[in-house]
Amino acid sequence: MLQWEEEGRLEDAWLRENFVMQIFAYSAYETFKESSPSIKDLVRFHTIHKFMLQAKDETLYRELGNIVANRDSHSLETLLGIYELGFKTAIARKSSIKKTRNVLEHLTGFFKNELTGEEKKILHTQIEDYAAKIIPLIVPLSTIHLYAQKYNATYLLDQTFLNPYPKTLALRSHISSGK
């Protein structure tokens, strides 16, 4: 399921960011799987990957939620196998500016009662500027992260979408990292 990229194609900032995110997400799942997880652990894993999955494939994200709900009463082993296939398939999909913008708008909803009108305007302008390829993704993400810290939004702070890999890679710092 890992979508390998030829070395030359990794010069493309968008492909590189998607590929690196996929590698770290795969690694996170493998580490999770090796931890002898419970269904509660699976729910937590799915929850912290919510916005990353939505930025990749909204439909698969919803299907994974149904898998985690385990309405068919699968054994944990079966459930983990089904979830792994869906998770790795979703993570292998490429994000897009449109899908990422949608996720950014969802994230801003967590602060609708805390932010002033001016703060909301600034954040929405950053998201629009990202979508127009005027500023890189890191700008609205940094603002959202700042607000998540300020308002102690632990649900957001736990989201892998905000930090899918070490920030020192700076993959979201380029305007060309979105398509």
For residues 100 and 130, give the distance between their C-alpha atoms in angstroms, rounded to a whole number.
Answer: 10
Per-residue pLDDT of the chain (179 residues; tens, 9 = 90+): 555 556 666 567 777 888 889 999 999 999 999 999 999 999 999 999 999 999 999 999 999 999 999 998 999 999 999 999 999 999 999 999 999 999 999 999 999 899 999 999 999 999 999 999 999 999 999 999 999 999 999 999 999 999 998 888 877 777 766 66
Nearest-5° Cα angle at 44, 124 to 24: 70
Distances (CA, A) of 126 to 57, 89, 129, 135, 137: 23, 30, 5, 8, 9
pTM (two decimals): 0.89
Q: Which pair of tokens denotes residue 11?
A: 């010069």
The DSSP letter of residue 136 is: -
Distance between alpha carbon 95 and the CA centroid of its chain, in Å? 9
The one-letter code for the residue type at 32 is F
